[in-house]
């Protein structure tokens, strides 16, 4: 792993998932010599499950990818299990299952440049207990982990951080019972609600670490929507009891082919926010009113969070997502934003995740682009 004094260049590749357990894209990258199994440091992907508490496609995909890293590398599984592999379930609408793979590489294999280039650091937080979710101890544990990941990426200025992807635990009947057995209470006993709360608490930890906010008060968590991070993308699941934290930003002198930038979508239809993230990443030659063809294959992927606007309106038009008892709003807003983002990139394999409280402005969310400026 890179450290503060000597971060390593990063290779980024996006691969398709042709089935829930398909890790052949990762295997092909390794077999072709494009990356080394022992140098994979993070994976961020979308699986085709329901995106809910019982979305076990995340566990299946996780196992498949770690088994490839074990079979084609030399690291023991205990070490491989520490690699953050962040799966967001639910590929509603046109969103296509895929994974974005990050690996270090040797400096002599990539272009040398003093321009800012992508650097990645990761960390695992202290254990997050069921009673921490929705409360200040979780905020503090996440913030501490973000700072460690920044250091590992060689990033000293929070302004150079453009994306913090996390995966944190949510509440299940088993963990709620465990807390009660130990004399503790939990923020909510609604397990699906706990997904939203876990994400929002984590986002405040990211914002705190990056100086976007001061330490929040307990009563502000998941309630004061004026508090948010512009770079946090937080997911949660049943497969872990720590925060997996991946910090991505730009570092001068690290070299490499890739660069990252970010913006925010102000609402679910804000395609301009997506374009702004791509410009922020370094594609500053785009025309004032760009078209997908202007990208010329230079966008590796776009990552964003979304949320149904709590007012029940978008651009002053009423919608019924929050009143729909047939299809949960998680799935509806994810499908909508996925279509908007894919219409910009021209590629349905985009990372769109829901439950975005404290992640970008209310009703919108952060949007991050990784590009290869000199490609195409």
Catalytic residues: 167, 235
**44 three-class SS:** strand
Going by DSSP bridges, is the β-strand pair 161-169/244-252 parallel, antiparallel, or unpaired? antiparallel
Inter-residue contact 300 to 372 (CB < 8 Å): yes
Nearest to residue 260, comparing CAs of 302, 229, 294? 302
Inter-residue contact 14 to 100 (CB < 8 Å): yes
CA distance 323 to 87: 28
Q: CA angle, corner 308, sides to 363 and 173, nearest 5?
A: 120
Q: Please, is 81 exposed, middle or buried when counting C-beta atoms within 10 Å of its C-beta (0-12, 13-18, 19+)?
A: middle
- Terminal-residue alpha carbon distance, the chain: 30
**16 three-class SS:** strand
CA distance 160 to 210: 10
Residue 42, token pair as written in the block? 């993070």
Question: How many other CB atoms are there within 10 angstroms of residue 137's CB atom?
Answer: 14
């Amino acid at each position: 792993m890179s450290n503060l004094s000597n971060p390593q260049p990063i290779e980024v590749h996006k691969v398709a998932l042709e089935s829930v357990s398909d890790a052949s894209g990762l295997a092909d990258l390794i077999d072709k010599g494009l990356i080394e199994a022992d140098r994979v440091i993070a994976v961020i992907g979308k699986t085709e499950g329901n995106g809910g508490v019982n979305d076990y496609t995340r566990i299946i995909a996780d196992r498949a990818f770690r088994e490839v890293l074990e079979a084609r590398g030399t690291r023991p599984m205990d070490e491989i299990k520490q690699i953050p592999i962040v799966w967001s379930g639910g590929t509603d609408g046109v969103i296509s299952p895929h994974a974005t793979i990050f690996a270090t590489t040797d400096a002599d294999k990539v272009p040398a440049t003093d321009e800012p280039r992508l650097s990645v650091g990761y960390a695992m937080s202290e254990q997050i207990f069921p009673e921490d979710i929705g409360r200040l101890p979780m905020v503090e544990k996440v913030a501490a982990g973000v700072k460690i990941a920044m250091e590992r990426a060689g990033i000293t200025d929070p302004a150079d951080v453009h994306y913090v992807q996390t995966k944190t635990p949510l509440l299940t009947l088993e963990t709620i019972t465990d807390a009660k057995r130990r004399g503790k209470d939990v923020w909510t006993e609604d397990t699906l609600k706990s997904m939203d709360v876990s994400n929002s608490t984590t986002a405040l930890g990211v914002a705190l670490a990056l100086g976007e906010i001061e330490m929040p008060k307990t009563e502000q968590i998941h309630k004061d929507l004026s508090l948010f991070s512009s770079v946090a993308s937080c997911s949660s699941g049943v497969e872990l009891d720590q925060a997996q934290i991946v910090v991505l930003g730009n570092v001068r002198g690290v070299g490499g082919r890739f660069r990252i930038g970010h913006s925010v979508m102000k609402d679910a239809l804000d395609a301009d926010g997506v374009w702004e993230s791509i410009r922020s990443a370094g594609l500053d030659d785009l025309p004032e009113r760009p078209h997908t063809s202007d990208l010329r294959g230079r966008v590796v992927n776009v990552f964003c969070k979304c949320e149904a606007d709590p007012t029940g309106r978008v651009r002053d038009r009423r919608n019924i997502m929050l009143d729909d008892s047939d299809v949960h709003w998680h799935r509806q807003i994810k499908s909508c934003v996925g279509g908007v983002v894919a219409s910009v990139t021209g590629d349905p394999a985009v990372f769109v995740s829901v439950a975005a409280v404290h992640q970008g402005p209310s009703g919108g969310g952060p949007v991050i682009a990784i590009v290869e400026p000199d490609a195409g």
